[in-house]
Structure 1
């Protein structure tokens, strides 16, 4: 192993050694504690320290790094106190996640480190969003993200690289190629000769280096970072290394041929660098003994301190509260002036107002720029706000949801348009595991609105018509709104953009140009979680939302003999329990109406809640009127049969017959 110090001083070379030694000694201590059953799990990075340490020291302290399981050197090189790390690993109250997540599944704005989730690949797209925020702010910074060779097979890897390349984002993507994805060797993971060749397919620079040579890592990353700050673009760096222990300690290493350990032991990054420094007389044995002694005392003291840290307080109310970023919506301004318009106009008008109010708001989606989006909602936005803030995206929903979260982490707001709500499946992991859990895990906001053009009525078939709101109402951490009228669309869109929590904003496609009404002028917001009573009666209550509100109103016009409440939920998470209970207690009968399929639709939750809290007031069972438990057909006659509205009359007759 050949070391080239270039222009590094003796002090700097010694500092690199100290940073390389500390994580190795911490890991050796962790393995002892694991054998003593004082800790429960450990992902060892022994033999790979040069990558984490070299990369971290090469970057500025205010530049974001997105590490993985085996990157302890990132955390120690950023000088996070060991007691704090240990408190995190032990699930203590003073850990970064307050005992809610383990190992390196945490992030910290103080140290500009954004940790991964277990799915690994999705964090790469967060790096895109973080870098995009820096570009928009004209900051000359780079973002560095780690991945393993195994995760390069995930779609998120390819989506993130493609977005970074198309947008010229200053992201350094690091592949730690350590030979095995858990027990699967590289020859069973990919067929390309080397992973760095994949850079060519995305039109980006690729660099392959010896990941065990700390100076090669340091100089390579430092040079790239300096260049990328002035000439923004992504770079893929493949670091060749080896995992000297199992995927985790419980996995063992029996699947690895012994000769590989013998070969790679000779390439140990710490031993080789230490030997080089001794040979160059930069350090001596006394220096090594002193540093090791100091580290031992530090490690033992910090671990003892961590073990004494308090356990989390078991507090049900606190756990529920911490699912969401604390936010108190501003007082509502009652509108005094209105403009007549359609549902679709209300969306466009509200977003335009928010783009004017928040210069850190970015809208992203497929075909939303010059083309104006599939439904022309953002038509004219490019001319008004520019292509930097109104961004066409490649067809990669997962990466754009992840980039939206990255924007939020780095001080921006984001609206992402799913071209159709159905396509959220392609970004589902990012939504339910990254957006939804970010605040609960490490206290950070996820200031993202995802627009969801949804619903049937247009003969669009199984892949462009689903009402999939129930997928997201089940996920703590998300807010879900589903307005039925232009005024509500306008007020709720403004509320959603202002709310620092992730909001799934359902917009019914059929209503885009079918529903008209008054749209407030200027600032006007509607509280998320507040229902609206459209009709007041005594016979029964119809509790509904979205297109269901229009069905209920149309039914009431056709059946003046029935006097009933029509309660429009408007928001599904949180939903207005107080308004629902009040209506049901008054009428004694409840029908839950929604476009989604019957089985496990959101109406089931409402019905269960009514039964639980209003049972003594009921004069009949709570009924649900929903669409068939089938996929949505394209043919108009079949679609009509599918939709809940075709069974509304018979359900009402059944309800009032009790």
Structure 2
């Protein structure tokens, strides 16, 4: 192995050696503890230390780095106290996740490290968002993100590279090509000689680096960091290396040919570099022994600290309260000046006023810039706020949701427009597995609003008509708003943007231009979790939201003999159960109307909660009404049959006369 010092001082050469030695010795200790049953699982990076250590040393301390589960050297190079790492691996309080996640599945703002989730791919888009925030603030910084050769087959990899290239983001995409994805060799994963060849398709620069040569890793990455700080752009790096142990220890390495294992053993990054330093006279056996003794003492002392720490304890209240970041709601009153506008105008106005309020608020979505979005919500926004803040995106929902997460990590707010709520399925994973869980896992907020134009009744067919709120009300950590009126849409959107938690904001397309209301002209907010009682009566309670509100009001106008409470939920998470319970206790009858298909929807949960908490007040079975259990059809007659409006009228009359 050839090493080129390239003017590096002796102190730096030895720092890099010690930087690799420390994670190697920690790993060797962990493998012993694993066999003793003192830790539950281990993903080994033995043989790959040069990559983690070299890349981390090339970055400045204030620059974010996003490692994987074999990058222990990132954490040690950033100076993370070992007792905290050991406590993390044992699920104790001094770790970074309060026992809620394991191994390297965490981040820490203190050390500017953002750990991965098991789905691997989304963190590449998160790196895009972090780098975007730096670029928008004109901070000359680099961001480095790791992935393995296996994850380069995921769609998130390609989406993130494309976004970074289109936006010239200063990201180093670091592929650790270690030969195997669990047991699958590279020749069964991709059909190209080098993974960096893919960079050509994205108009990106690329480099192949010997991942077992610490000086090559450090020198080349350091050079590239300096370059992209000066002229922001992404670069794809492929580090050629090998995984000397199993995917995780239980996997073993029986599937690896012995000849191949022996070949890479001779390329060990530590032993080869050690011999080089000894040949140069920078290192000798006495120094090596001193380094090892020092690291051993540090490991043992910190292990004792972690072992002596009691097992973690918590309370039900604490666990529930930590799902969301605490939101100190600030109420902005409605002003007296009003104008009669449509729901679509109210959404646009609310978004524009939030953009004026927050200079660090970014809007992202397909066709939202000069075109103004398919529903013209953001028409004129680029003239008012510029294309840096109103950003057209490629068609890559997953990467953009992940980038929104990155913006939040780096202290900015974002609103992402799904062109249609149906398309959120392409960005589903980062919403439910990253945004929703990140605060509970390691205390990081996801300051993201995802706008969801939704709903049937406009003849748009199966792929542009769904109202899929139940996908998200099921997921702890997400908030869901669903206004039915222009004034609610404007006030709730302002609150959603103020809230540091992720919010799915549903906007019914069929109501965009059909519903008018007098709306205050200035900025105001409406609290989440407060339903609106639109009509008051004694006969029965109608609970609904979105287009269902207008269907219920219309049907009740046809039946003046029915004196009903009509409750517009406005937000589905948090849900105003108190208002529902109070109404049911008064009327003793409940019908819940939703546009979504009936099975598994919010109506089922409301019915179940009322049964559990208000059973003794009920004088009739609870009625649930929803759309047919089919995809949304295109033809008008089929769509009318699909939607629950007429079935609601029949169910309402049946409940009234029960």
Q: Same fold (TM over 0.5)?
A: yes
2:71 aligned with 1:71: yes
User: Could you say what secondary structure the match of 1:110 adopts?
Assistant: helix
> Deviation per CA, 1:151-183, whole angstroms, max 9, x where unpaired?
000000000000000000000000000000000
Q: Specify the alignment match of 1:554 in structure 2.
A: 554
Matched-pair contact (CA < 8 Å) for 1:94–1:310: no
Q: Specify the alignment match of 1:488 in structure 2.
A: 488
Distance 1:600 1:11 in 2: 63
Q: Specify the alignment match of 1:123 in structure 2.
A: 123
> Deviation per CA, 1:215-270, whole angstroms, max 9, x where unpaired?
00001110000000010000000000000000000000000001111100110000
> Is there any run of 5+ residues in structure 1 with no aligned partner, and where?
none
Q: Specify the alignment match of 2:394 in structure 1.
A: 394
2:159 aligned with 1:152: no
Q: Specify the alignment match of 2:600 in structure 1.
A: 600
Matches within 5 A, 1:448-597: 448-597=448-597
Distance 1:392 1:287 in 2: 56
Matched-pair contact (CA < 8 Å) for 2:397–2:424: yes
Matched-pair contact (CA < 8 Å) for 1:455–1:467: yes
CA offset at residue 311 of structure 1? 2.0
User: Could you say what secondary structure the match of 1:492 adopts?
Assistant: helix
User: Could you say what secondary structure the match of 2:175 adopts?
Assistant: strand
Q: Specify the alignment match of 1:23 in structure 2.
A: 23
CA offset at residue 520 of structure 1? 1.4
Matched-pair contact (CA < 8 Å) for 1:437–1:477: yes
2:34 aligned with 1:34: yes
Q: Specify the alignment match of 2:249 in structure 1.
A: 249
2:429 aligned with 1:429: yes
CA offset at residue 39 of structure 1? 1.1
Q: Specify the alignment match of 1:620 in structure 2.
A: 620
Matched-pair contact (CA < 8 Å) for 1:490–1:520: no
CA offset at residue 469 of structure 1? 0.2
With 46-55 and 87-96 compared, the bigger mean Cα shift is at: 87-96
Q: Specify the alignment match of 2:275 in structure 1.
A: 275
User: Could you say what secondary structure the match of 2:297 adopts?
Assistant: helix
2:288 aligned with 1:288: yes
User: Could you say what secondary structure the match of 1:534 adopts?
Assistant: strand
Q: Number of matched residues?
A: 658
Q: Specify the alignment match of 1:14 in structure 2.
A: 14
Matched-pair contact (CA < 8 Å) for 2:199–2:236: yes
Q: Specify the alignment match of 1:384 in structure 2.
A: 384
Cα RMSD between the aligned structures?
0.7
Matched-pair contact (CA < 8 Å) for 2:545–2:570: yes
Distance 1:332 1:546 in 2: 24
2:338 aligned with 1:369: no
Distance 1:143 1:514 in 2: 46
User: Could you say what secondary structure the match of 2:84 adopts?
Assistant: helix
Matches within 5 A, 1:169-184: 169-184=169-184
Q: Specify the alignment match of 1:307 in structure 2.
A: 307
CA offset at residue 653 of structure 1? 1.8
Q: Specify the alignment match of 2:341 in structure 1.
A: 341
TM-score by length of 1: 0.99
Q: Specify the alignment match of 1:191 in structure 2.
A: 191
CA offset at residue 313 of structure 1? 1.4
Distance 1:298 1:594 in 2: 60
With 464-473 and 549-558 compared, the bigger mean Cα shift is at: 549-558
User: Could you say what secondary structure the match of 1:37 adopts?
Assistant: coil
Distance 1:276 1:408 in 2: 44
> Deviation per CA, 1:274-328, whole angstroms, max 9, x where unpaired?
0000000011111000000011111011111111123221311111100001112
Distance 1:530 1:335 in 2: 20
> Deviation per CA, 1:415-448, whole angstroms, max 9, x where unpaired?
0000000001000000000000010000011000
Distance 2:136 2:56 in 1: 24
Distance 1:27 1:110 in 2: 23
User: Could you say what secondary structure the match of 1:172 adopts?
Assistant: strand
Distance 1:209 1:539 in 2: 75
Matched-pair contact (CA < 8 Å) for 2:331–2:526: no
Distance 2:630 2:445 in 1: 37
User: Could you say what secondary structure the match of 1:341 adopts?
Assistant: strand
Distance 1:7 1:62 in 2: 25
Distance 1:62 1:51 in 2: 19
Distance 1:7 1:529 in 2: 62
